[in-house]
Every structure is written in structure tokens, then in C-alpha cells.
Structure 1
Amino acid sequence: MGSASASYRGHRYPVEVISHCVWLYFRFPLSFREVEEMMLQRGVIVSYETVRRWCAKFGQAYADGLRRRRPRPGDKWHLDEVFIKINGELKYLWGAVDAGGNVLDILVQNRRDKAAARRFFRRLMKKTRAVPRVVVTDKLRSYGAAHREVMPSVEHRSHKGLNNRAENSHQPTRQRERAMKGFRSVGGAQRFLSTFSGISPHFRPRRHLMTASDHRAEMTVRFAIWDHVTGVVGAAATA
């Protein structure tokens, strides 16, 4: 099998079923029960609780595998933060994308002050193992203060109109948040969004810039990568 093969030991369902359920849940705004129903229509009997356990166990590993296969991030980063309600309390979702729209990282935090911005900057550089040439943010002063402290040599452009790319990157998250009727805990939100931001964008190429044939070809490549990351290709080879 592929990179996640050891994790499948003891599971009676084949890799193809497990990876397909995880794909359905993180790619589309579906509940665990809806994934269960879709699999039943295909003749596969699996409970929604089993789907939930698979998503919890394999989702992050799949997301990390996809991230490792991405090209090196561009040198222009767009950062933005939006509020989300978690169990009725206001929190902030910090996100960053590069110039190509690739999600670099997300982080749920209680505040949007200098300390929160500094934490996100440092986390970004550690996770990407890179330092950008330019960071683009909105007018939030916390960005400027943290930028001067963490990456003073990096150009900082602060303008609301320049940051549409980062703002647009939150749209899939908002859609999913509505479908899930919100998040119940900060930890749960962070775990889900960390996996979601690694899997969902992989299947969302910039469709508006492609012809239909180019889009089909690109999706074929991306599904092949998914099969390698999840171990489906290896399972088929050893069957």
C-alpha cells in the first residue's frame, strides 16, 4: 500500500471504501449520516459512527500527505482573519494563502491582537519552512506590530482592497460551518478545519481559468494523487 498502509491494519473494510468516505465528508458539505446513506445507495453498509471514526483517524494523515505533495508556496502571502462562533462564543479564524490561492495554514484563536498575529506568523513560517517576500493583510494594526517583530525584512502591504484572495479563501469554510450548524469546541474546530483545509482545496482547482477538457485532465491527476496518498494504488497492486 501507500503511505498510510500501516494504519489500515485491523480494519475490515477495504482502503477504497475508507478513503472514499473520508473524501465525501471533507469534499462536500455532508453529514456523517448523509455519507452513510450515499454509501448504502452504492451497496456498502457502514454506520455513520464508523465514518466519523475514519474521518478522525485518517483525515489529518490524508491532508498532511496532500500538503507534502504540493509545490513550494509562492513568496507572496495573503493573510486574513474572520470571526466564527464556537458554542456561542466569538472566536477568530486566521488564514493564509499564497498568490496561487493555495491554503498555507489556518489557526483558530481567541483574539486578534498582536500576540495572536505574532503566533500566526511564526506558525506559518514553521509550517511552510519558508519566509515570504511580501505579506498582504487588511488594515488590522495587529499585523503591522507583529510583522515588525517577527519578519521585519519582509515587505508588508496593508490594504483591504488587495486582500480579496485571502477573504475568498474563507468561503468554503463558511459553507461548511453553516452545514455543520457551527462548531462545538475550539479544539474540534481546529482539528476539522486543519483537515478540511488540506483536503478540500486539493479538489478545487481554479475552474474559472480552465476549459472543460483541461479541468477534467487536472482532476484526473488530482484523483491519482489522492489514491497514492491514501494507499488505494498500493492496495490495488497487492490485491
Structure 2
Amino acid sequence: MILSAIVEKLKRQSKDDFKGRQFEAWLIIQAVSWYLRYPLSYRDLKEMFLERGFEVDHSTINRWVLIYAPLMEKRLPRFRKPHCGSVRINETYVRIKGQWRYLYRAIDKHGNPVDFLLTAKRDLNAAKRFFRKMLKDAPLLSPDKIGTDGAGTFPPAIGDAVGSGLLAPDPVHYVTKHLQQGIESDHFRVKKNMPKVGGFRSFKSARKSIAGFEAMLWLKKGFDFTGQWSVREQNDLLAVLFGIEKVNEA
């Protein structure tokens, strides 16, 4: 009943998603999902679609990703279950316009991605913003254990979250290199498809693309759906998000 209500609401929300587009909705979402799922460039996708009889410019595919990847990130959480009460937080580097920027990320103890924040600086204000973003909308059942890499900004950021009521009092904060290996490996999964030469061209495009990479990780994890979770079933859920019949019809 709840799932049916979510599907109907998504159909209403998505009715204008592809208004005025030259190509069919399923082809657009196919291109976006391939870019987010596999290490392909926009020019690779252009050639792949040309083999199938579709002439799509690589710049058009880029625009599709920047439009529809953030929508995936926005809509997929409706299918996510609450995370467990233990999270691991770490930062990694992302190259934007030739400069290194910072990507804060969190996963739970089962390796499920929780949230992310792209920032220009790696400081206390950035750490506080990440905790607020991670906790304000879906409070993770108030995580009682928080693992970090030992950066000095995290203890005061945790204290700020407790003072704001986003965290329950006295969460356990631990620093352990062994347990952090899981999130460092997860960084690779979200970064492997990022531009290899020069990085992203702008902070805005980086934020939108990373939203899609993160959403694809959520999708691959399967949202605790029982049984085998195949790529075709992932595509079927993407179709639901955008109110279309099928994604892979080529």
C-alpha cells in the first residue's frame, strides 16, 4: 500500500520531466544510468548510441546527466530503509577546475552509503554542515557510534550536532584505521567514474554528477530488497522514478 502510494506520487511528479525533449524518456534515462554506473565518457556513450541508430551529441548527454542525476538522488531515498545506529565518516579529494576540493561521505556499518557533501574547504564549518545535512532530514535513528579518521574538526562538529538536537547525547566517537578501510574503499566506487583528465569543469556540475554517482551506489545496494537484485531490476526502479514503462529497450 505504501509502495503503491510512492509510485503514484512519483508518476505525478515526473509528468513534466521530459517535456520538450527531442528523445524519448527511456533513452535519456538509459544514457544517464550508463554514465553513472560504468566508467564511460560522454563520447563513449555517443558512439554506443550511434551503433544503435541514435545520433546524440556528447554535450547533450552531459546536459541530461546534470538534469536527471540530481532527480535520481532526490527521489530514490523514498525507497531506502533507516540506517543502523553506527556510521563511519571520511573525506576524500575531488578535482574541480584544476583544484582539489573535498568530498565528505558517510556509510553505515553494513557499507550502505548514507550521505555526502562537496565542499571547497576542509574545516570545522564544513564538518558541521555535513553533520547537519546527514542528520536533519533522515536522522539515522540517531547514530550512537561514529567512526572518523581522527581529523580534529570532527569532535566539535559532533558536539555541535548534539547541541542542536540532531544527535542523541553522548554518542560514541571512535578513531580506528581498520574500520575506516571500508569507507575508503567506498570512495573508490563513487570516484571511479569521475573525469580522469582535469576533473570537473565547475563546482555545480561536480555536485550534480556526484549526486548521481551516490544515487547509483544506493541503487546497487538494493535498498534491502530480498532476493537477487539485478541490473534489470535496478533499471525497472529507475523507470518508476520517472514514470516511464522501461529503461532498457534498445
Q: TM-score normalized by structure 2? A: 0.80
Distance change >3 Å, CA 164–CA 23, structure 1 → 2: same
**Amino acid in the other structure paired with 1:143:** F
**1:4 and 1:229 in contact (8 A); partners too:** yes
Q: Following the alignment from structure 1 to structure 2, what is the Cα–Cα distance between the partners of residues 234 and 139? A: 46
**Amino acid in the other structure paired with 1:115:** N
Counterpart for residue 113 of structure 2: 103
- Work out whether 1:226 is the aligned partner of 2:238: yes
Gaps of 5+ in 1: 206-213
**Amino acid in the other structure paired with 1:149:** D
Counterpart for residue 128 of structure 2: 118
**Amino acid in the other structure paired with 1:148:** G
For residue 66 of structure 1, report the CA deviation from its aligned partner: 1.7
Q: Following the alignment from structure 2 to structure 1, what is the Cα–Cα distance between the partners of residues 246 and 137? A: 28
**Amino acid in the other structure paired with 1:7:** D
**2:88 and 2:146 in contact (8 A); partners too:** yes
**1:133 and 1:154 in contact (8 A); partners too:** yes
- Work out whether 1:44 is the aligned partner of 2:54: yes
For residue 221 of structure 1, report the CA deviation from its aligned partner: 3.2
Q: Following the alignment from structure 1 to structure 2, what is the Cα–Cα distance between the partners of residues 158 and 218? A: 36
Gaps of 5+ in 2: 1-10, 163-168
Identify, as 1 or 2, the structure richer in helix.
1
Counterpart for residue 158 of structure 2: 147
**2:17 and 2:242 in contact (8 A); partners too:** no
Equivalent residue in structure 1 for 2:211, among 194, 212, 218: 194
Counterpart for residue 15 of structure 1: 25
Using the TM superposition, name which of 187-196 and 136-145 deviates more.
Answer: 187-196
Q: TM-score normalized by structure 1? A: 0.84
Aligned residues: 228
**1:97 and 1:166 in contact (8 A); partners too:** yes
Distance change >3 Å, CA 81–CA 128, structure 1 → 2: same
Counterpart for residue 82 of structure 1: 92
**2:104 and 2:130 in contact (8 A); partners too:** yes
Distance change >3 Å, CA 2–CA 14, structure 1 → 2: farther
**1:136 and 1:158 in contact (8 A); partners too:** yes
Say which SS state the counterpart of residue 201 (structure 2) adopts. Answer: coil
Cα RMSD after superposing both structures: 2.6
Counterpart for residue 42 of structure 2: 32
Q: Following the alignment from structure 1 to structure 2, what is the Cα–Cα distance between the partners of residues 29 and 127? A: 31
Counterpart for residue 173 of structure 1: 190
Matches within 5 A, 1:196-211: 196-203=213-220
For residue 62 of structure 1, report the CA deviation from its aligned partner: 2.0
Runs (4+) of structure 1 exceeding 6 A deviation are none
Using the TM superposition, name which of 65-74 and 13-22 deviates more.
Answer: 65-74
